[in-house]
Amino acid sequence: MSGKVTVVTDRPLSRSEYFEVFLSTLRANGLVAVPTSNGAFRVQPLDNAASQPSRIGVAGAARNSYVTEIIRLRATDAASAVDTVRPLVSAQGSVTANRGGNSLVVVDFADNIRRIREVIRRVDTDTSSTRVVALKNASARDIATALQGLIGTGG
pLDDT in tens, the chain (155 residues): 677 777 788 888 888 888 888 888 888 888 888 777 787 888 888 887 777 767 777 777 778 888 889 999 998 999 999 999 999 999 888 899 998 889 999 999 889 999 999 999 999 987 777 778 888 888 888 888 888 888 876 54
Element of type H or E holding 94: strand 94-98
Q: Is residue 151 part of a domain?
A: no
Q: Is residue 61 part of a domain?
A: yes
Give tens-digit pLDDT for 62-102: 788 888 899 999 989 999 999 999 999 998 888 999 988 89
Burial (0-12, 13-18, 19+ Cβ within 10 Å), 83: exposed
Q: Is residue 149 part of a domain?
A: no
CA-CA-CA-CA torsion for 66, 68, 72, 77, nearest 10 degrees? 90
Report helix, strand or coil for 35. Answer: strand
Report helix, strand or coil for 58. Answer: coil
Which residue range forms the structural domain that includes residue 23?
Answer: 15-129
- Looking at residue 100, which CATH number applies to its domain? 3.30.1370.120
pLDDT over 90, % of the chain = 25
Q: Is residue 7 part of a domain?
A: no
Give the Cα separation of 69 and 50 in Å (integer): 12
Q: Is residue 102 part of a domain?
A: yes
Report helix, strand or coil for 98. Answer: strand
**Structural domains in the chain (count):** 1
